Amino acid sequence: MKFFPEFALFAGALVLAASAVAQPITVADVKYEESSVVNGSTLQLNGAGVRYKAVFKVYTAGLYLEKKASTAQDVAGVRGPKRLSITMLREIDSAELGKLFSRGMEDNMDRAAFSKLIPGVLRMSQVFSEHKKLQAGDQFMIDWIPGTGTVITVKGKPQGEPFKEPEFFNALMGIWLGNAPADWKLKDALLGKPA
């Protein structure tokens, strides 16, 4: 039997490619699958990382998009569905988290743009304050669904009506991907940059 080295290389490449596909990424003991389905569309994991406050791990976050994006502008430019999935690593007062998100949005927008979103920001704060506390392991998701709006899901349950304005989702993403992100290392991780 004749041995073809090209075949061995090809077979090896196939094995490597197969093992590289559909491998979940684990961040601080939280698994992020390589893909997630949002409104019938399969999205790919763009990146995942940990949000630190001082030395404490607060939560992990994973960003899912239809195609890879390496800048905040690229993320904003993706027209299809998007998902940010967050899993808590410690207990936090939900009302406090809502306030932090509001501040993060405000820090990454000009005053006039932020003032237009105040009704949505107040409603988002209300969504979180209704949950009292989020415990370690609790998950919430922020989805952008074209034609529907921003849907916030806490512990598997969608929270109220979608936020219709695309600007609201982009302002939320500014918390993590803006010019003054909550955590620079997390921003890089969500954009798929190596640590």
In the chain the domains, ranked by start, together with CATH numbers, are 24-190 (3.50.70.10)
- CA pair distance 144, 146, nearest whole angstrom: 6
At residue 81, what are phi and psi to the nearest 5 degrees? -60, 155
Tell me what pLDDT residue 130 has: 84
Q: Which amino acid is at 29?
A: D
- The 8-class DSSP code of residue 23 comes to P
- The answer to whether residues 52 and 99 touch, using CB atoms and an 8 Å cutoff, is no
- CA pair distance 10, 22, nearest whole angstrom: 20
Tell me what pLDDT residue 89 has: 97
The Cα-based distances of 4 to 8, 13, 86 in angstroms read: 7, 15, 48
Query: How far separated are the first and last CA of the chain, in Å rounded?
Result: 47
Per-residue pLDDT for the chain (195 aa), expressed as one digit of tens each? 454 444 444 444 444 444 444 578 999 999 999 999 999 999 999 999 999 988 899 999 999 999 999 999 999 999 899 999 999 999 999 888 888 899 999 999 999 999 999 999 999 888 888 888 999 999 999 999 999 999 999 999 999 899 998 899 999 999 999 999 999 999 999 999 986
- The answer to whether residues 137 and 144 touch, using CB atoms and an 8 Å cutoff, is no
Tell me what pLDDT residue 20 has: 43
Burial call 38-49: b when 16+ CB within 10 Å, e when fewer: beeeebebbbbb
Tell me what pLDDT residue 166 has: 83
- The answer to whether residues 63 and 46 touch, using CB atoms and an 8 Å cutoff, is yes
